[in-house]
Amino acid sequence: MNDKKYHIMFVCTGNTCRSPMAEGALKVLLEKEKPGEYEVYSSGTAAAVGYPATVYAREAAKMWSVDLSGHTSQPLSEDLIKRADLILAMSPEHLRSILEISPEAADRVYLFKNFPDTGQDGEGVEDPIGQDLSKYNEVFLDIGEYLGKNLLEFVKRIKEKK
C-alpha cells in the first residue's frame, strides 16, 4: 500500500455504538496532533450495511464535540483488515473474529483495553446497546480514557509510517 496515511480501524459487533464512538473520539484527539496523517474507520463483526450510529451513541459522543451524524455501519471484511495498519477490537470475541478472517493480521490486531500490549484475552468494552443514555455516556468516557492514555502511542505509530 503506498498510501502515506496511517489507517486505524475499530471493530465491535453492530458498528453502531462502541466502534463509531471510538472512531469519532480518536479523530478528535488526532486532529490536534497529526492533522491529515491518518484515517480512522470502524466496522462490525455482525454489522449490516448503512445503519447510523444509535441515537444515544450520537448523544454521548457530543461530550467531546464528536459528530456521529454521518456514520454508516459496515461489516468487517478482509479488505478493511488489509487496509488497516492498526486494528483495535472492542472485545476478545471481536479479536478472534478478525483473526478468523485474516490470520496474517495478527501483528496488527489488539484488544482495545490491552493496547499497546498484544494479549488477546482481557476486558472488553461493555456493549451499551439497548441501555439508557447514562450507560452510553459511561462507555464513551471509558473509551475516551483509554484513547487518551494511549494517544502518544498512536502519534508515535503515525510518525513511524512516514
> Hey, what's the cell of 160?
513511524
Q: Phi, psi at residue 117, to the nearest 5°?
A: -75, 150
Q: Does an H or E element contain 42, and which?
A: strand 38-44
Instruction: For residue 33, give Cα distances in angstroms to 82, 83, 158.
Output: 25, 22, 10
Query: Helix (H, G, I), strand (E, B), or coil: what is residue 12?
Result: strand
Catalytic sites, residue numbers:
12, 18, 127
